[in-house]
Amino acid sequence: MQKVIIIGCGGSGKSTLARELGKLLGLPVIHLDQLFWLPGWVEKDRESFVKEVRQEAEKEQWIMDGNFLYTMPMRLQYCDTAIMLDYPTRTCLWGVLCRVAGSYGKTRPDMGKGCPERFDFSFLKWIWGFRKKERSKCYAALENFHGRLIIIKNRRECREFLRDLRENK
């Protein structure tokens, strides 16, 4: 694993897994939210964002977390491993609520500068609809991927995946 993308619903723990994998494998971590969000929760224009993502993807090694489906085909061309966190909706909602409770008003290290954690009803609504609307798009993007595909269904499986990596390192 030299170039890894981690995708899945918000609140599934993509950034947390990316940081843990980065430490374990000694790879740099790229959080797409850091590239996308400008201070004050302003979206970067698509063209600039895609250009930046491509520049990062062309590097030798990385772990990249985040969905941004319109960049996924390009990122899949560069990566050797794709990890899909395919968790139940309730797990993701709980993850976001815990994150908001623990970080409210603070900017997380995986987020763009000047974007403090907030309670965002539209984000919760997106998570609620992810399995119906976005999940199939993620799997469709992965259909032609020829690298290593890892699908993790719950937090227990994720802990086991990391444990197995540590033990077999």
- Distance between CA atoms of 142 and 119, rounded to whole angstroms? 31
pLDDT tens column, 98-142: 998 988 888 888 888 898 888 889 999 999 999 999 999 999 999
Please check the confidence at residue 148 and state whether its pLDDT lies above 90: yes
Which residues, 6 or more positions from 118, have their beta carbon under 8 angstroms from its beta carbon? 41, 100, 104, 105
Task: Write the pLDDT tens digit of every residue in 36-80.
Answer: 999 999 999 999 999 999 999 999 999 999 999 999 999 999 999
Confidence of residue 25 (pLDDT cuts 50, 70, 90): very high
Question: Quick check: 62 and 26 in contact, CB under 8 A?
Answer: no
User: Given pLDDT bands bounded at 50, 70 and 90, which one contains residue 152?
Assistant: very high
Helix axes 121-133, 135-142, angle to 10 degrees: 50
Contact 148, 82 (CB under 8 A): yes
Fill in the amino acid letter for 57.
A
H helical segments located in the chain: 14-25, 32-36, 46-57, 72-78, 89-103, 121-133, 135-142, 155-167
Which pLDDT value is given to residue 108?
87
Residue 169 confidence (pLDDT): 73
Question: Tell me, what's the pLDDT at 117?
Answer: 87
